[in-house]
Amino acid sequence: MNAVEIRQLQKSYRVYQKNEGLVASIRGLFHREYRDVDAVKGIDLDVAQGEFVAFLGPNGAGKTTTLKLLSGVISPTGGQARVLGHVPWLRENEYRRRFALVMGQKNQLWWDLPAQESFALHEKIYRIEHENFVRTRDELCDLLDVAHLLGRPVRELSLGERMKMELTAALLHSPDVLFLDEPTIGLDVIAQHNIQKFLKYYQQERKITILLTSHYMKDVAALCKRVVIIAQGEIIYDGSLAGIIDRFSGHKILSLQFADGSMPGDLARYGDVLEVVEPKARLRVDRGSISQVLSSVLANNTLEDISVEDPPLEEVIAELFSFSAEQQKSDELRNGQKQPARASSQINLK
Amino acid sequence: MLARAQTWWTILKICVEERLVYRGDFALGTLMRFLPIVTQIFLWTAVFAAAGSGLIKGYTRNDVVAYYLLTMLARAFSSMPGLASGIARQVREGEIKKFLIQPIDLVTYLLLARVAHKFVYYLVAAGPFALVYYLCRSYFPGWPPAEVMAAFLLSLVLAFLLGFFLEATMGMIAFWFLEVSSLLFVYMLFTFFFSGHMFPLEILPEPWKTFVDFLPFKYMAYFPAAVFLGKVQGTELVHGLMIQTAWILGFIVLCRVSMQAGFNRYSGYGG
């Protein structure tokens, strides 16, 4: 059974279009121009129970909006979604007791009180049996190594410690579905790693369904087998992390190390020269012509070392994002700027 | 039901704890409230001296001072500092999301937080209040009969509920206009003049007097004080309490409806 089922889910916002300058501001008092921004444009997605799925996408792509829709914070403009069989935006308590949302940038704990007070409140509002509550709390605090901080006011905790407390609070009622919106944002490498380790362990133990958005590729690589890329409110990729490179990168990176003094001057004929530090050079070569280029390089040069690699994932994704952003811009120009921004269907590579 | 009661109790406890965190600020704020009393006593003494006669609209100078002290007590129940602006802030900054995601009711939570807030306030203010009333005891006509006293206490509790639901409803407007401070200022002016906080409402000329009768504000200050002083008696008293209750019920409904509409409208500002 699927934990999350999304069909043609849409969300558009009406935003006030303000032009620059004082005159425009005064005009805005009497007459306002609004523009519809389509944050999510009819996406379809199924997530099976026990899956750990990452949402990737540039800022404003619609990742957070999707999570907000699925947690019932906002209602959609159109389409349907079911999480654990519930329609999220009806906000039934039965549903609300079965999921949790953790936002890296938002604090859900009581700021001036120790986290244990917030936990005690969660025990009551989520109707957790006291024995269960104590056991889960101690277990989580143990795993996250925060037991000694329970009595300290939340405002005095470091960002990393607070995030761990947020996670603990969110998991106290053993949710079946967990939404994580950039849970490691602003954390240092060690804290990020700790959170990753914890999430991985917890998800494998409990087999809960997790949807995660993050800008850190390391989070995604460490945690999720399945990656969904959203850009301009549409899903443009759904598959494995490694598959992204196959699908979106038409290049390979060719690294060459020449024998002393034998580096040719016309490297550019093999491909785009990325870097030259004698006796080494790095080239970007079309995937299709890689074998041809290799044999030619080997035939004409004396080489000490050679390697062919995929381009780094982050670069591929950055390229992909900037490609879809350009698509949007040219679309807007074509449609005139007051039209709602529609994503092009050309990049729908799925 | 039991689970719900336990939840409420926990919220109350936590809110009391939270209030006690900033005890210094709290104690100072409480004490500052008593300063205007002195100026009010001087003001009304001067007014009566200038008027020449000992009676203004049925009030003696002592009556007016007693009235003022009593409205101060009523305001201690009905005023809700930071309630509407707090809701507006939560909407603006996105903190309100908590109440959409977690199985906890916003209005219930706010009410309990306010009860806790008031409880701590009375704890701190009880001493100063008692002292002021003791020092000013000569202005009072004496203790009213038991049934009037009971009606007075009831009207205070109702004033609390009315103040809460009225201002919570004002706060819900933030779902439509993110900034409600100027609206709150107008509301504050209205309560200031029409609740009877500044002067007994009998002083108002027509048509204002009738106008004020049709507003909820007078039940937040004037009414409890008038009950204590015996200005409202018999069926008039019963009617008054019933109208006060009706206002509360009206604002409970309005508050709920606007909260639901606001939630549906809410688009999750701030990330």
**What per-residue confidence (pLDDT) applies to A83?**
94
Contact at CB, B101 and A73, closer than 8 angstroms? yes
E-only strand ranges, chain A: 2-17, 33-48, 52-56, 78-83, 99-103, 177-181, 209-213, 226-231, 234-239, 251-258, 272-277, 280-286, 303-309
pLDDT for residue A343: 37
Chain A residues with CB under 8 Å of B21 CB are 112-113, 153
B179 contact A CB<8A: no
pLDDT of residue B46: 82
Whether the predicted pLDDT of B38 surpasses 80 = no
CB < 8 Å to B97, chain A: 73, 101, 103, 106
Contact A258, A303 (CB under 8 A): yes
Of all helices (H) and strands (E), which one includes residue B60? none
Summarize the confidence of residues A165-188 as an average pLDDT. 91
Q: Mind telling me how many Å the CA of A342 is from chain B's nearest CA?
A: 20
Ordered DSSP codes for B78-99: H--TTHHHHHHHHHHHTTTHHH
CA–CA dist A204, A206 (Å, integer): 6
Model pLDDT, residue B116: 92
The answer to whether B49 faces chain A, any CB pair under 8 Å, is no
Nearest-CA distance from A125 to chain B in Å? 6
Outline where B59-196 has alpha helix (H).
Answer: 61-78, 83-93, 97-101, 106-135, 146-172, 181-194
Residue A168: CA count within 13 A, CB half-sphere: 31
Test B21 with A91 for CB contact under 8 angstroms: no
Tokens 């269960």, located at residue: A132
3-class SS shares of chain B: helix, strand, coil, % to 5: 75, 0, 20
B95 touches chain A (CB under 8 A): yes
pLDDT tens digits for range A75-117: 888 899 999 999 999 999 999 999 999 988 878 888 888 999 9
Instruction: Name the band, by pLDDT with cuts 50, 70 and 90, for residue B270.
Output: very low
| Each residue's pLDDT tens digit, A117-153 | 999 999 999 999 999 999 999 999 999 999 999 999 9
Question: What percent of chain A shows pLDDT beyond 90?
Answer: 36
* From A22-31, A97-106, A166-175, B67-76, the region with the lowest mean pLDDT: A22-31
Mean pLDDT of B191-215: 84
Sheet holding A177-181, edge to edge: A99-103, A177-181, A209-213, A52-56, A226-231, A234-239
Chain B, nearest residue to A112 by Cα: B18
> B121-179: per-residue pLDDT in tens?
888 888 888 888 888 888 888 888 899 999 999 999 999 999 999 999 999 998 888 77
Chain A neighbors of B102, CB-CB under 8 A: 96, 108, 122, 125-126
- Among A67, A125, A130, most B C-beta atoms within 10 A, so best to mutate, is A125
Check whether B88 has a pLDDT greater than 80: yes
In the prediction, which pLDDT does B237 show? 92
Residues with Cβ within 8 Å of residue A329, at least 6 apart in sequence: none
For testing contact with chain B, the best of A74, A89, A155, A181 (most B CBs within 10 A): A74
Q: Which of A119, A124, A127 should one mutate to test binding to chain B, selecting the residue with the greatest count of B CBs within 10 A?
A: A124
How many CA atoms lie within 13 Å of A330's alpha carbon, on the beta-carbon side? Answer: 10
Nearest to B268 among A73, A100, A153 (CB): A73
Residue A339 pLDDT exceeds 60: no
Query: Which of B18, B22, B26, B100 to substitute to test the interface with A, most A CBs within 10 Å?
Result: B100
What single-letter amino acid sits at A9? L
C-alpha A188/C-alpha A166 separation (Å) is 17
Closest among B157, B172, B152 to B118, alpha carbons compared: B157
Q: Which of residues 241-270 of B touch A (CB under 8 A)?
A: 263-264, 266-268, 270
Higher pLDDT, B256 or B69: B256
Q: What is the pLDDT of residue A340?
A: 41
Return the pLDDT at B39.
80
- Report the DSSP pairing between strands A226-231 and A52-56: parallel
* B39 contact A CB<8A: no
Asked whether this complex has an ipTM greater than 0.95, the answer is no
CB contact under 8 A, A68 and B7: no
Query: What is the nearest CA distance from A310 to chain B, expressed in angstroms?
Result: 35
Interface of B with A in 122-161 (CB under 8 A): none
Between chains, do A108 and B98 touch, taking CB under 8 Å as contact?
A: yes
pLDDT in tens, A217-240: 778 888 888 999 888 888 988 998
At residue B183, the pLDDT reads: 86
Overall average pLDDT of the A282-305 stretch: 88
C-alpha closest to that of B102 among A127, A196, A240: A127
Between residues B126 and A52, the one the model is more confident about: A52
Distance from CA of B89 to the nearest CA of A (A): 14
| Position A173 confidence tier, pLDDT thresholds 50, 70, 90 | very high
CA distance B11 to B117: 12
- Highest mean pLDDT range out of A19-28, A327-336, B58-67? B58-67
Contact at CB, B101 and A120, closer than 8 angstroms:
no
The mean pLDDT of chain B is: 86
Chain B CB contacts of A96 under 8 Å are: 101-103
Model confidence over B241-256: pLDDT tens digits? 999 999 999 999 999 9
Nearest to B102 among A120, A125, A153 (CB): A125
Residues in B touching A125 (Cβ below 8 Å): 7, 102-104
pLDDT exceeds 70 at position A346: no
- Chain B contact set for A122 (CB, 8 A): 102
Confidence of residue A335 (pLDDT cuts 50, 70, 90): low
Rounded to a whole number of angstroms, the distance from the CA of A124 to the nearest CA of chain B is: 5
Kindly provide the b/e burial profile for residues B38-59, where b requires at least 16 CB atoms within 10 angstroms of the residue's own CB. eebbeebeeebeeeeeeebeeb
> B18 in contact with A at a CB cutoff of 8 Å?
yes
pLDDT tens string B101-116: 999 999 999 999 999 9
Of A97, A117, A125, the CB nearest to B7: A125
Residue A186's identity, in one-letter code, is G
Q: Which residue of A has its CA nearest to B11?
A: A121
Tell me, what's the pLDDT at B271? 40
Min distance A299 CA to chain B CA atoms (Å): 57
